[in-house]
Structure 1
Amino acid sequence: MRSVQEGDTVRVHFTCCADDGSEIATTGDGEPLELTIGEGKLIECFEKSVIGMMEGQKKTVRLQPHEAIGEKKSELVSEVPLYQVPEQDEDLEVGSRIQVKDDHGNDVKAIVTDISDQTVTLDANHPLAGETLTFDIKLVEFA
């Protein structure tokens, strides 16, 4: 029976959960995800986990933060004056996702983690940075 190798295009079903067991993403009962191993469109360790699998095989893979999205970076958390936040006139609250400019004028997505009368704390880390992720993978077929 054929096993997955680098460069193969395959279809997989998967469920991704955080350490607390909450589901982050899944293909569920829908269409399987199609990917070409080595293209780099998904987390590298996820793709490498599929190598060697055969059609119908299931696997559970636990990825530490450095293998998944990466660790949280403290330099991506900043406190800024409230008046500099573009959405200040809207219902800004902890958990709001906003877009701001970095020091180089690039658009950056950030999450509001704290608000005071004068300042807003913004976290521009990926929402899954610092998370250990568990993937349940099933190789459905070769494409």
Structure 2
Amino acid sequence: MSDSSHSSKNSFFGRFAEQITKYSGSTAVFVGAVALVLLWAMVGPIFHYSETWQLVINTSTTIITFLMVFLIQRAQNKDSLVLHLKLNELIAATKGASNRLINAQDFSEEEIRLIHQFYCLLADKAKADNDLGETHSIEEAEDNHHEKLAAHRE
């Protein structure tokens, strides 16, 4: 399979999945789903609330839920990636921003906790400042952290 045919299949599936995701989140689909459940409930007495009658709704909702989980996850993954790209662009374009936060989504939990501690230090510095326009960097927080560690060791 050539790359061009592979990418055209991906783009077809991508477009298809995106359209289904948008459509399934519409008011019309919700109203239709409610109508189907009400219709199912109304025909219950006709089928004497049989096991088959119950199986129809159980099977239908299970299959729809199973498929929708993957579509929702796909949409969420795409949205998350786009958000990360936009944030990376802002970080890269902002003078004084710490470029080490680009692709922070790939950091380990330990690295994320460490950076969170640094931002807690920044928040503490901001609280201590009376000037709301004063800015601090992660590097300043890191220096303060090292100073605190050195002071504790003395």
TM-score under structure 1 length normalisation = 0.25
Select the structure that is richer in helix: 2
Greater Rg, structure 1 or structure 2?
Answer: 2
Q: Which has the higher contact order (CA 8 A, sep 6+)?
A: 1
TM-score under structure 2 length normalisation = 0.24
